């Protein structure tokens, strides 16, 4: 089955600087990669996703890049703000073969230092 590794487990960044979280996956057939943000005590919320037919996707201060050859994808947050502090989870799946499951990484706790 799929295995997703996520690094780092914790990350502290000065407000205004950029943050990068990296994930690697094992199944080369995986073709869908979402990122979720979970604030303390709240549900995980989808913030951005990417499919394997594109290499990069941006949404304001958030971007995701995908390297299919190396089987890794990354979340980039620019101009970080205090409200970006949360736990971020990456995930991977291949829904084309009836696999409705997401395999999640172990999470990265991002702290923005004012």
Partner 1 sequence: SQTIHQWPATLVQPVGSPLSLECTVEGTSNPNLYWYRQAAGRGLQLLFYSVGIGQISSEVPQNLSASRPQDRQFILSSKKLLLSDSGFYLCAWSGWVRQETQYFGPGTRLLVL
49 or 78: whose CB is closer to partner 1? 49
> Which of the ranges 19-27, 64-72, 76-84, 88-96 carries the binding residues for partner 1, by CB under 8 A?
88-96
Element (H, E) at 22: strand 19-25
Task: Single out the residue of 48, 61, 54, 56 nearest to residue 91, CA to CA.
Answer: 48
10 binds partner 1 (CB under 8 A): no
- Interface with partner 1 (CB under 8 A), residue from 64, 107, 110, 112: 107
Question: Number of C-alpha atoms within 13 angstroms, CB side, residue 114?
Answer: 2
Task: Single out the residue of 97, 107, 104 nearest to residue 25, CA to CA.
Answer: 104
43 binds partner 1 (CB under 8 A): yes
> Which of the ranges 14-22, 29-37, 57-65, 73-81 carries the binding residues for partner 1, by CB under 8 A?
29-37
């Amino acid at each position: 089955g799929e295995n997703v590794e996520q690094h780092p487990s914790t990350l502290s960044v000065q407000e205004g600087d950029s943050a990068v979280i990296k994930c690697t996956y094992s199944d080369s057939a995986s073709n869908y990669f979402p990122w979720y943000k979970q604030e303390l005590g709240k549900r995980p919320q989808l913030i951005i996703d990417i499919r394997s037919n594109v290499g990069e996707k941006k949404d304001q201060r958030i971007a995701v890049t995908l390297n299919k050859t190396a089987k890794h994808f990354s979340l980039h947050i620019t101009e970080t703000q205090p409200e970006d502090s949360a736990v971020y989870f990456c995930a991977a799946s291949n829904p084309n073969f009836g696999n409705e499951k997401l395999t999640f990484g172990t999470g990265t706790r991002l702290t923005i230092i004012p």
